[in-house]
Structure 1
Amino acid sequence: MQQNKNGIARIAAVAVAAPLLALTTATSASASATANRVSWQNVQTGKCLNWENTWNGGVQIAVGGCSRSGPVDVSQWRATSDGKYWTYRPSRTTNSGDWTNVCLTSYNTLVYLETCQDGNWWQQWEEIWTPSGWKLKHRGDGQVAGYFLDTNGSSLYTEPGNQGLYQVWK
């Protein structure tokens, strides 16, 4: 059975949340939001897949130090799945309190954030377990099939799969 980082986090969250459910429904809503948060740290560089605010109020992709202490830290992503593929959104709220509606996207070898679109294959990622950690495989479109999220420590891109640890995340 293939392991899944988000699935494991959900099981742990349910184990913690179930006893608290009897105490209050507000706690269970918080636990549910926690179950969808994930962060990715590169095994080779030790740097995290981050998002950062831009000067004009937007958000962009970045790689850098890891910040996971709060629910809206730059290394936190909100993950949703259709059962096989994952979509990652920055764990960031707008001034009105709504979640930012941009998704981790890859086209060819470029990695960036753009407005989320249901069913957009360029915004879908498969989590693949390896003995060294997780590989994030971009779904592609059949023409450019399944490149992996990769980093050199200062930028993010996708490349065909290889045995190096620059494509492995924990």
Structure 2
Amino acid sequence: MVAAAVPALLVATSGAASADGWITWKNVKSGYYLTANSSGTVKGDWAMPGVNEDDYQWYDQSNGDTSYTEYNGHGMCLVGYYRQVYTENCSKGRDQSNWWQRWYEISTNSGWKLKNRQTGWILDDEGHGGIYANSGDYNNSNQRWK
């Protein structure tokens, strides 16, 4: 009897959609990171290692339905309420039913598109640090994240 050794296939990914791990979201055009402070204000800002890491690190948690919940180091979830984007206390459980707190992470050739499950609106960076959601996908770098 001969035993064949089968090498394990390792797949390395960069960027988001890591499912159940800490990540950062950096806007392709502005270079700003998606941040949220402990009061719930979401904006784009520069990230500096060791400084306010709870503001710009997100735990990317799969909900088991192709959507993800993003919560930051302050334990607050990213919410898309049409044009408004902010953080609030997370609904309980991995498969929580608050679809305003769920995001589809869609890979494109220019970065990740974050689409809110409830509204279908796309996370957008206005380029001055303002973060909002846009009703249309204009396939531009303001709406792409890495």
When normalised by structure 2's length, the TM-score is 0.76
Secondary structure of the residue aligned to 2:100 is helix
Correspondence for 1:87: 69
Correspondence for 2:34: 49
Give, as a single letter, the amino acid of the residue that structure 1 aligns with 2:33. Answer: C
Structure 2 CA distance, aligned partners of 1:151 and 1:112? 13
Do the aligned partners of residues 59 and 157 (structure 1) sit closer, same or farther apart at CA in structure 2, a change above 3 Å counting? closer
Contact 2:16/2:24 (CA < 8 Å) preserved in 1? Answer: no
Give the gaps of 5 or more residues in structure 1.
11-34, 93-99
Correspondence for 2:126: 152
Correspondence for 1:38: 23
Secondary structure of the residue aligned to 2:79 is strand
Do the aligned partners of residues 113 and 73 (structure 1) sit closer, same or farther apart at CA in structure 2, a change above 3 Å counting? closer
Secondary structure of the residue aligned to 2:36 is strand
Do the aligned partners of residues 86 and 134 (structure 1) sit closer, same or farther apart at CA in structure 2, a change above 3 Å counting? same
When normalised by structure 1's length, the TM-score is 0.66
Secondary structure of the residue aligned to 1:5 is coil
Deviation at residue 59 of structure 1 after TM alignment: 4.1
% identical aligned pairs? 33
Q: Considering Cα pairs closer than 8 Å and 6+ residues apart, tell me whether 1 or 2 has the greater RCO.
A: 2
Contact 1:67/1:73 (CA < 8 Å) preserved in 2? Answer: no
Deviation at residue 60 of structure 1 after TM alignment: 2.7
Higher strand share: 2
Please give the per-residue CA displacement for 1:76-106, whole angstroms capped at 9, x wherever unaligned: 01121113111111123xxxxxxx2x21001
Correspondence for 1:5: 16
Q: Which consecutive aligned stretches of 4+ in structure 1 deviate over 6 angstroms post-superposition?
A: none
Structure 2 CA distance, aligned partners of 1:59 and 1:147? 19
Contact 1:68/1:74 (CA < 8 Å) preserved in 2? Answer: no
Structure 2 CA distance, aligned partners of 1:68 and 1:138? 28
Give, as a single letter, the amino acid of the residue that structure 1 aligns with 2:140. Answer: G
Q: How many residues align?
A: 126
Deviation at residue 6 of structure 1 after TM alignment: 3.0
Please give the per-residue CA displacement for 1:47-78, whole angstroms capped at 9, x wherever unaligned: 0101224xxxx443221102355894421011
RMSD: 2.2
Do the aligned partners of residues 106 and 75 (structure 1) sit closer, same or farther apart at CA in structure 2, a change above 3 Å counting? same
Structure 2 CA distance, aligned partners of 1:149 and 1:88? 13
Higher helix share: 1
Correspondence for 2:59: 78
Match status 1:132 vs 2:110: yes
Correspondence for 1:67: 48
Correspondence for 1:26: none
